[in-house]
Amino acid sequence: MSDEMSPAEEWREIGGGLTRRVDGADPESWDAPAPVEEWRARDVIRHLVDWFPDFLEAGSGIRLTVATSVDEDPAAAWHELADGVRDLLDDPATATRVLSNPHLGEVPLAEAVSRFFTADVFMHTWDLARATGQDDTLDPVRCSRMLAGMEPVEDLMRSSGQYGPRVAVPPDADPQTQLLGFIGRDPHWKGPVGP
């Protein structure tokens, strides 16, 4: 989370960035390959819709339900989830809730959403943008901050199985390229859908 933004404000910015790519995707592009091995564009949304509600419920007892199938309408499924996260963060009761996790301990709920889900959405925005041939530019300041926070725990992250091997990039590469390489993306990956 940025020092200047609340988790709710941060969600509006980051979630809104992915929403713009979701809404800008040509319906035919949902089955285009994505930069994550064996994923299609719709799998970017499937990943977010599948993991976060379970993570949230296991740690807080709160369940965000997405009734729409990603296979039938990935854009509608995303909107359901994004609206649920917005409502959760706008709820004054969220300020007093915590998320408990055996690996993390107890974390204020809004902070947990920011650290784990909003950050994941930020990184996957690039995946969806590339897969669907849209603007894939990410905020360079946020890229730098995320990379600085992730590098000290690289071994732990890699051992989770959630990140691929680091992709080598030039040491003077821009912050976005450095972050993408760190999380295992080829910054030069291009799919069949062009801008």
Residue predicted with more confidence, 126 or 156: 126
2 belongs to a structural domain: no
28 belongs to a structural domain: yes
44 belongs to a structural domain: yes
Domain of residue 34, residue span: 7-137
Please answer whether residues 153 and 57 qualify as being in contact, where contact means their C-beta atoms are separated by less than 8 angstroms. no
Q: What's the pLDDT tens digit per position in 66-81?
A: 999 999 999 999 999 9
pLDDT of 102 over the 50 cut: yes
Band of residue 40 on the pLDDT scale cut at 50, 70, 90: very high
Please answer whether residues 137 and 176 qualify as being in contact, where contact means their C-beta atoms are separated by less than 8 angstroms. yes
Number of domains in the chain: 1
Rounded Cα–Cα distance for residues 78 and 97 (Å): 24
67 belongs to a structural domain: yes
92 belongs to a structural domain: yes
145 belongs to a structural domain: no
Rounded Cα–Cα distance for residues 166 and 184 (Å): 5
104 belongs to a structural domain: yes
151 belongs to a structural domain: no
CATH value at residue 116: 1.20.120.450
Give the number of other Cβ atoms within 10 Å of residue 72's Cβ: 9
Token pair, residue 48, equals: 């977010």
